[in-house]
Amino acid sequence: MNRRILIAVLMIAIGAGGGVLYQRWQAGQTATPASVTASAAQAPAERPKANERRPDFTLPDVEGKPRSIGEWDGKVIVLNFWATWCPPCVREIPALQQLYETYQDKGLVVVGVALDTTQSVIDFIDPQGVEYPVLIADQEGPALTSQYGNRLNVLPYTVVIDRQGNIVYRHRSEITFEEAEKVIRPLL
């Protein structure tokens, strides 16, 4: 009899603990590692509230030179958070490169923010022919993606910033050329 009561109490405690964890997860309060990819994201795209200013940051580029997001003020910025070990990130790079090549003369810049080490990124982007700026976030990446609205640290994660420095679009998961083009064309 005591054994049944003990088992019942344990089952209730486990159920209650699971319920609490589920609620925290739903509220976005639990920490999720950056290795979570876009398959975990339910709503891949969102339009932020009006005039949501982009956070400032400075990160090194692949040559070690500090680069500030502010140096691209006045341009439409496609800010893409990615990693070399993330298959959807790797698949979207040709679309981002095509976007950069097509619209850079009209005031667009694609900025990649890699959640990787410098050497991993260099080894990866050189053969890919990536011409747009790539910054190295390494361990700072998850906190930075959170500042840009990516509470789950899902990769890839793309943010579009207008010429005034306002975040106008967020996309969790692999983005296609057509999806990105639809957002950026009215801003150019």
* Tokens read off for 185: 């064309």
* Same domain (yes/no): 127, 179: yes
Q: Sign of the CA dihedral 86, 92, 94, 97?
A: negative
Partnered with residue 82 across adjacent β-strands are 114
* Tokens read off for 49: 């509230």
Q: How many angstroms separate the CA atoms of 41 and 168, rounded?
A: 19
Q: In degrees to the nearest 10, what's the CA dihedral of 178, 94, 141, 160?
A: -30
* Same domain (yes/no): 83, 56: yes
* Same domain (yes/no): 19, 64: no
Least confident of 42-56, 119-133, 171-185: 42-56
Partnered with residue 65 across adjacent β-strands are none
Measuring CA to CA, which residue among 155, 153, 164, 170 is closest to residue 187? Answer: 164
Across residues 41-45, what is the average pLDDT? 52
> Does pLDDT of 31 surpass 60?
no
What domain range is 25 assigned to?
1-30
* Same domain (yes/no): 157, 70: yes
pTM above 0.85, yes or no: no
* Same domain (yes/no): 95, 4: no
* Same domain (yes/no): 22, 78: no
Measuring CA to CA, which residue among 108, 107, 157, 167 is closest to residue 137? Answer: 157
Across residues 168-180, what is the average pLDDT? 95
Across residues 55-74, what is the average pLDDT? 96
pLDDT at site 52: 85
**3-class DSSP state of 140:** helix
Contacts of 82 (CB under 8 A, 6+ apart): 89, 90, 92, 93, 112, 113, 114, 115, 155, 156, 157
Across residues 150-158, what is the average pLDDT? 93
* Same domain (yes/no): 105, 171: yes
Burial class (CB in 10 A: 0-12, 13-18, 19+), 90: middle
pLDDT at site 71: 97
Residues 160/187, Cβ–Cβ less than 8 Å = yes
CA distances from 131 to 87, 114, 124 (A): 20, 14, 13
pLDDT at site 144: 95
Task: Kindly report, residue by residue over 118-135, the tens digit of the pLDDT.
Answer: 999 999 998 888 999 999
* Tokens read off for 40: 């975990």
Query: DSSP character for 35?
Result: T
Query: DSSP character for 122?
Result: H
Across residues 43-69, what is the average pLDDT? 84
